[in-house]
Amino acid sequence: MRRMPGAVRVLACLLGLWLLAPFVAGLLRLGDADWSGVDRTALARAAGVSVASASLATLLIGLFGIPLGYVLARGRGWWTAWLGGVVQLPLALPPLAGGVLLLFLLGYGGPLGALGLSEHFAGIVAAEMFVASPFLIIAARSAFAAIDPALEDVAATLGHRPGTIFRRVSLPLAWRPILAGLVLAWLRAFGEFGATVMLAYHPYSLPVFTYVAFGEAGLPSMLPVLAPTLVLAALAMAVGHWLARPVARGAVPRTGPLPPLIDRAVAEAPPRHLMLALRRDLPGFTLDVRLDSRARRIAILGPSGSGKSMTLRAIAGLEERAGAQVRLDGRDLSPLPPEQRAVAYVPQGYALPPHLTVARQVRFAVDCVPDRAAAWMAALGLEDLAGRYPDALSPGQRQRVALARAFARRNVDLVLLDEPFSALDAPLRARLRREVLAVLRGMQVLTVLVTHDPAEALAMAEDVVLLDGGRVIRAGSAAAVFARPGSELAARLLGAEAIGDGVVRPDGRIDVGQGVALQVRHPDGERADLPPPGARVRWSARPYQIRPAEEGAYPARILWRGPIQDGQRPMRLLLGDAELEILADPSCMAEGACRVDIDPACLQVWPVA
C-alpha cells in the first residue's frame, strides 16, 4: 500500500483519540459502578423498546429513503436541489427543536394529532425516523450518484424496464454504501434522545431511561445503564460490517459444446432506410444532424468531440433532451423508450456492471439467446473468463464482453457500435472485424458504426457520414465520400496524408505542375465527378498507393530513402510540385529520377476552399 503523508496520519490519530477518550474515561471508572440503584427489569424493557423502535425506524427509513436517495441522485432541476436541502435539515436542528416541530405536527391539536402518536411507541419511531433519515438518504444519494449512468443506459438498450434496471443494476451497485447508511441510521435512531423526549417520553427508550436514572441516582449508576447501550451499538456495527463484507466471488461453470457462430453462406439482407433529424443544444456545443441513408451499414467519422457518440445515443433513445426524430424503414422510433427500440448497443466505455460476471454480462439482455451468447463467448475467447468480474479484465477483454452481450440478443433492428474494436490488438481487431461483418451481413439490421479509423469505415460500411462540430460535413456512399471528400478537413478525417495542389484540366486530368497530369477515376467506375476545368483543387493518395515502378505513368524524383520500418520503406519524393511522403515496398531500390504509378481510382480530389 502507498505510504500516507505524516501530517495526514497525525491529524487522523488526534481525532481518533478524542473520540476514544470518553470511553476510556468511563472504563477507568468501572470500579465505581453502582448496580444497587438500577431497576434491571426497567432497564431491559427500555433496551427492548430502543432496539425495536430503532429497527422499525431503520426499516421504514430504508423503504422510503433508498428511493428518495435515487430520486435526488438522478433528478434534475430546482426541486431536486430544494428537496436535497430539506432532507438535511434534521441534521442542522438541535434534536429538542426537532421534537418541538414534531409536536406541532403530531401533538395534541396538530394536523396529525388524531393519530395519537405522542406518548406512544409509534411516537418514538416517528421521532427516530425524523432525526436518523438524513444519514441513509445522504449515503444512498451519494452511492447512486457515483454509478456510471452508462450502465443504466445500456441496460435499457438491452430491453430492461426502469424498475428492473433499478433492481438489477443500480441497487446492487449502491448496496454497500446504502448498508453503511442504514447502520448509521440505526445507530442514530438507537441513541436518539432529544426529539423522543419531547414527543414520546413514555414508554422509556434506553436514552430516556438513562436520563431518568441519572436524575435519580447520579453518575455512579450510569455505568451499568451505559453498558447495554454500548454492547447493543457494537453489535449493530458488527452486523453491518458482516453484511457489507466482500462476498467470495465463485467461478461460473464453463459452457458446453458450441454451435457455429454463423452460417457463412447466408445472403446479405436488404438495405434499411434510416432518417435522422437530431438536435441537441448544450452550452458550447450544438448537435444538429440530418441524415437520409439507405444502407446496411453506416460509418460515422469525425474529430474528437464532434458529436459521434451523442448521435449514436440519440438513435438509441438515450439522449432524452435531444429533439430526435429517428425513422427506420418509415417507422418512427422517436416515441419509443430505449428498451423498445431493439438495439444492440456497444458503448465506448463498454458499460459492464461491476457486480456481474462475464457469463452474466453476456446473458444480461432480456431476449438473450443462450446458444448465441455461448457461441459469441467462444468466438471472442471469453470462455475462460466466464467467472471473472469486469475489474479483473483488460480493456480489450471488456470490449469483447460488450460485443458478445450486444450480439447475443434475439430481437435486433439496429446495431450501434461506438468504436467497438479500439481496445483490441491489431490481429484480433482484423479477425473480429471480419467476424462481426460476416454476422452483420446475415442479419436484417442496420448498423451504425462510430470509428476514428477510415480503413475500418471503408472495410465495414456502405455509407459514410463525416461529422464536425455537431454537423454533417459530408455523407454518401463510402466510395463517393472517399473519392470526393469535398473539403480538406473531410479528406484528413479520411486519412489523407500525401496532399498536393493542382488544377483541373479540360480533359479531366489534374495538372500538378512540372508538366505532370494525374489521371482520376471515380472508384465506382462512374465519371470522375470533378470540379469544372480550371478549378483549383487539392489531391491526395495514401502513402502506400504511390508506387515507384519502372514503367510508371508519371515522372518523379526521390529526395530521400529511409531505412525499412514495419516492413515498408519510407521515402520522400517530388511529384509535379508536390513533395510527398510515401511508403514503398522494402525491395524498392529506386533513387533520384524515377517513375511512379497511382491507381486513378485511389486519388481523392476536392476543391480548394
Ligand X SMILES: Nc1ncnc2c1ncn2[C@@H]1O[C@H](COP(=O)(O)OP(=O)(O)OP(=O)(O)O)[C@@H](O)[C@H]1O
Q: Which residues bind ligand X (CB under 6 A)?
A: 282-285, 302, 304-310, 348
Q: Which helix (H) or strand (E) holds 324?
A: strand 323-328
Whole-angstrom distance, CA of residue 158 vs CA of residue 14: 51
Comparison of 229 and 311: residue with beta carbon closer to ligand X: 311
CB of 274 to ligand X, least distance (A): 18
Cα–Cα distance list, 86 to 91, 103, 134, 145 (Å): 10, 19, 10, 18
489 three-class SS: helix
Comparison of 469 and 555: residue with beta carbon closer to ligand X: 469
Whole-angstrom distance, CA of residue 305 vs CA of residue 285: 9
Packing angle of the helix pair 171-190, 222-243 (nearest 10 deg):
180
Whole-angstrom distance, CA of residue 323 vs CA of residue 39: 71
Whole-angstrom distance, CA of residue 134 vs CA of residue 138: 6
CB of 318 to ligand X, least distance (A): 11
Whole-angstrom distance, CA of residue 296 vs CA of residue 415: 10
φ and ψ of 492, to 5 deg? -70, -35
CB 553 within 8 A of CB 510: no
Comparison of 126 and 343: residue with beta carbon closer to ligand X: 343
CB of 316 to ligand X, least distance (A): 13
Q: Select from 513, 530, 512 the least CA-distant residue to 521.
A: 530
- What would the grid cell of residue 326 be? 429517428
Whole-angstrom distance, CA of residue 594 vs CA of residue 527: 30
Q: Select from 56, 471, 151 the least CA-distant residue to 287.
A: 471
CB 110 within 8 A of CB 69: no
Q: How many residues does the chain have?
A: 609
CB of 115 to ligand X, least distance (A): 46
CB 177 within 8 A of CB 140: yes
Comparison of 310 and 582: residue with beta carbon closer to ligand X: 310
Cα of first residue to Cα of last residue in the chain, in angstroms, is 58
CB of 466 to ligand X, least distance (A): 11
Comparison of 283 and 534: residue with beta carbon closer to ligand X: 283
Strands (E), 407-480: 414-418, 446-450, 463-468, 471-477
CB of 280 to ligand X, least distance (A): 8
Q: Which helix (H) or strand (E) holds 498?
A: strand 498-504
DSSP secondary structure, 229-251, as one string: HHHHHHHHHHHHHHHTSPPP-PP
CB of 489 to ligand X, least distance (A): 14
CB of 298 to ligand X, least distance (A): 15
Comparison of 36 and 304: residue with beta carbon closer to ligand X: 304
CB of 275 to ligand X, least distance (A): 20
CB of 475 to ligand X, least distance (A): 15
DSSP secondary structure, 418-455, as one string: ESTTTTS-HHHHHHHHHHHHHHHHHSS-EEEEE-S-HH
What sign has the CA pseudo-torsion 364, 365, 367, 372?
negative
349 three-class SS: coil
CB of 146 to ligand X, least distance (A): 18
Residues 6+ positions from 557 with CB-CB distance below 8 Å: 573, 574, 592, 593, 594
Comparison of 469 and 600: residue with beta carbon closer to ligand X: 469
Q: Select from 122, 170, 176 the least CA-distant residue to 148.
A: 170
Whole-angstrom distance, CA of residue 149 vs CA of residue 167: 15
User: Alpha-carbon dihedral of residues 212, 213, 219, 224, nearest 10 degrees?
Assistant: -140
CB of 300 to ligand X, least distance (A): 8
Return the DSSP state at 277.
Answer: E
Q: Which residues pair with 297 in a beta bridge?
A: 447
CB of 281 to ligand X, least distance (A): 9
CB of 302 to ligand X, least distance (A): 5
- Tell me the Ramachandran region of residue 72: left when phi exceeds 0, alpha when psi lies from -120 to 50, beta otherwise: alpha
CB of 470 to ligand X, least distance (A): 7
Whole-angstrom distance, CA of residue 141 vs CA of residue 509: 66
Q: Select from 158, 303, 457 the least CA-distant residue to 448.
A: 457
Comparison of 302 and 390: residue with beta carbon closer to ligand X: 302
